[in-house]
């Protein structure tokens, strides 16, 4: 009976080493791996590089990667690559203002206050713990629900709620002006 079960499992085995399988894994997971690292460091180019390097590692170790667990393997590899990159450097977040500035209708004082506020907010976000920052950015930038975040990070919804609550309190304490804005 054991031989039969083993052979049955063998037939259903999907190898990540097959080019078409690897391509589908890449297409399915590249964005989530890139975003995962982007939320950690705030640098899209660096996140794309680390995501690409993660897939190179998967390809190099494809015989050891179980298809059903490839996403977890990718995220683990990406996280390790990220940690190697930041050992000697402090994490800095670079946010871009998506809305174009209408300089004609804004006073120089307003523009200066806006720049100061953005600097304070970026500093406050970078001072959050990595776990809080990741949850905050996934919710506020990607507009993911707590349930989606919990699924992506493989934690409970309660853990997401707690991290978000702590992050919002920390941000409000650090930047007084946040009380005037909805974040």
What domains sit in the chain, N to C, each tagged with a CATH number?
Answer: 15-86 (1.10.1740), 104-180 (1.10.10.10)
Q: Report the C-alpha gap between 11 and 152 in whole angstroms.
A: 29
pLDDT for residue 157: 92
Q: Report the C-alpha gap between 94 and 5 in whole angstroms.
A: 53
Here the tokens at position 102 are 């209408």
Note down pLDDT in tens along the chain; length 183 residues.
344 333 334 445 688 788 888 888 889 889 989 998 888 877 888 889 999 999 898 888 888 888 888 888 888 888 888 877 755 343 333 344 444 455 556 778 877 877 787 778 788 888 888 888 888 888 887 788 899 888 888 899 999 999 999 988 888 888 775 555 544
Q: Report the C-alpha gap between 1 and 178 in whole angstroms.
A: 65
Taking the model in full, what pTM does it have? 0.45
Query: At 25, phi and psi to the nearest 5?
Result: -65, -45
pLDDT for residue 13: 66
Spatial contact of 144 and 151, defined as CB atoms under 8 Å apart: no
């Amino acid at each position: 009976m054991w031989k039969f079960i083993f052979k049955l499992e063998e037939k259903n085995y999907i190898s990540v080493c097959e080019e078409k399988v690897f391509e589908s894994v890449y297409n399915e997971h590249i964005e989530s791996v890139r975003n995962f690292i982007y939320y950690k460091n705030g640098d899209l180019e660096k996140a794309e590089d680390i995501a690409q390097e993660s897939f190179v590692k998967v390809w190099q170790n494809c015989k050891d990667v179980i298809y059903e667990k490839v996403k977890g393997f990718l995220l683990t590899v990406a996280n390790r690559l990220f940690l190697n990159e930041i050992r000697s450097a402090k994490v800095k977040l670079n946010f871009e203002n998506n809305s174009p500035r209408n300089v004609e209708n804004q006073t120089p004082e307003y523009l200066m206050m806006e720049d100061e506020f953005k600097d304070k907010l970026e500093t406050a976000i970078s001072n959050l713990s990595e776990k809080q920052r990741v949850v905050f950015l996934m919710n506020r930038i990607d507009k993911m629900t707590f349930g989606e975040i919990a699924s992506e990070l493989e934690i409970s919804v309660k853990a997401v709620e707690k991290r978000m609550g702590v992050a919002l309190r920390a941000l409000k304490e650090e930047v007084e002006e946040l009380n005037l804005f909805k974040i």
